[in-house]
C-alpha cells in the first residue's frame, strides 16, 4: 500500500499526472484517506486541469460505500484535538453494514445500532502523516483562539456526536470559528442517520477539494 509519509512533494498538475501509481496514491491519501478513493482518482489520470481533478475526486468521494467513508473519517482528528503525525494505520473495521464499528457501549447505544465495543473517547485515534497533520492544524485554526468554555463544549459535543453516530464529527473547518463549528455540531445532532451521512459526504468532499489544491501547490 502507498506510504503517505514517503510521498514526494508535488509541484503542479503536470507533475502529479507524471507520478507513478503508488506515489500518486500516496499523495491522494493525504487528501482523502480512503484507499479506494486514492486508487480510483490516480487511475483516472491524466487530468487536463485542477477543476477536472477536483470534479473527479468529488464524484469518487460521493460514490464511496460507507465503509470507505469511515476509513477516510478515521484519519481525521476530533475538532479541537491535535492530530499525531506518524504512519497511517490499517484500514478501519467495516461499518455496521458489514461488522462492528467503534463507538459507545451498549448503555449509550442508540436504538437500532449494534453493539460497539468501547467508547470513542477511550479508543486510540488513528495517527496522521506529517502532511495530513499539518493540514489538519491549519484547517482547525479557528479553535486556537477559543476560550475554555467553547473548547469544553466542543469536547462534550464530540462525545455526544460519537455516541449518536459512531464516528468522528467531520466538518470542513477552514475559515470557521470554534463557535461556528459548535453551532453546526449541535444542529447536526438532530439529524437522522441517513441525513447525517449525506452531510458527512458533503463535508468530506469539501475538505478533499481544498487539500487537492494544497497538494498541487495551487491556491485553494
**Any bridge partners for residue 85, and if so which?**
128
Handedness of CA 104, 106, 107, 111 (dihedral sign): positive
The model's pLDDT over 199-214, given as tens digits with 9 standing for 90+, comes to 999 999 999 999 999 9
Whole-number pLDDT of residue 129: 63
Catalytic residues, which ones? 119
C-alpha cell at 130: 506529517
Whole-model pTM over 0.95 = no
Asked if residues 136 and 130 have their Cβ atoms less than 8 Å apart, the reply is no
Determine whether 154 is exposed, middle or buried from the number of CB atoms within 10 Å of its CB (0-12, 13-18, 19+): buried
Whole-number pLDDT of residue 31: 95
C-alpha cell at 116: 460497539
Residue 116 to residue 108: CA distance in whole angstroms:
10
Sequential pLDDT tens for the chain (220 residues): 454 444 545 568 999 999 999 999 999 999 999 999 999 999 999 999 999 999 999 999 999 999 999 999 999 989 887 655 443 444 444 443 434 333 333 333 333 343 333 333 333 334 446 766 677 777 777 777 788 999 999 999 999 999 999 999 999 999 899 999 999 999 999 999 999 999 999 999 999 999 999 999 865 5
Asked if residues 181 and 151 have their Cβ atoms less than 8 Å apart, the reply is no
The model's pLDDT over 145-176, given as tens digits with 9 standing for 90+, comes to 788 999 999 999 999 999 999 999 999 999 89
Q: Which residue has the cell 482523502?
A: 32
| DSSP annotation string for 104-124 | --GGGPPTTPPP-SS-GGGSP
Amino acid at each position: 500500500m502507498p506510504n503517505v509519509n514517503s510521498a514526494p512533494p508535488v509541484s503542479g498538475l503536470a507533475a502529479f499526472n507524471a507520478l507513478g501509481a503508488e506515489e500518486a496514491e500516496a499523495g491522494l491519501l493525504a487528501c482523502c484517506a480512503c484507499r479506494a478513493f486514492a486508487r480510483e482518482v490516480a487511475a483516472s489520470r491524466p487530468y487536463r486541469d485542477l477543476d477536472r481533478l477536483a470534479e473527479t475526486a468529488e464524484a469518487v468521494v460521493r460514490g464511496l460505500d460507507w465503509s470507505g467513508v469511515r476509513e477516510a473519517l478515521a484519519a481525521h482528528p476530533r475538532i479541537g484535538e491535535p492530530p499525531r503525525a506518524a504512519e497511517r494505520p490499517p484500514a478501519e473495521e467495516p461499518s455496521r453494514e458489514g461488522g462492528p464499528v467503534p463507538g459507545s457501549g451498549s448503555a449509550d447505544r442508540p436504538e437500532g445500532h449494534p453493539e460497539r465495543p468501547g467508547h470513542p473517547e477511550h479508543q486510540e485515534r488513528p495517527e496522521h502523516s506529517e502532511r495530513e497533520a499539518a493540514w489538519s492544524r491549519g484547517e482547525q485554526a479557528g479553535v486556537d483562539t477559543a476560550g475554555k468554555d467553547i473548547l469544553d463544549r466542543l469536547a462534550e459535543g464530540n462525545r455526544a456526536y460519537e455516541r449518536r453516530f459512531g464516528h468522528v464529527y467531520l466538518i470542513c473547518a477552514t475559515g470557521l470559528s470554534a463557535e461556528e463549528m459548535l453551532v453546526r455540531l449541535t444542529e447536526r445532532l438532530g439529524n437522522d442517520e441517513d441525513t447525517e451521512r449525506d452531510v458527512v459526504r458533503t463535508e468530506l468532499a469539501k475538505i478533499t477539494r481544498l487539500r487537492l489544491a494544497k497538494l498541487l501547490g495551487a491556491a485553494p
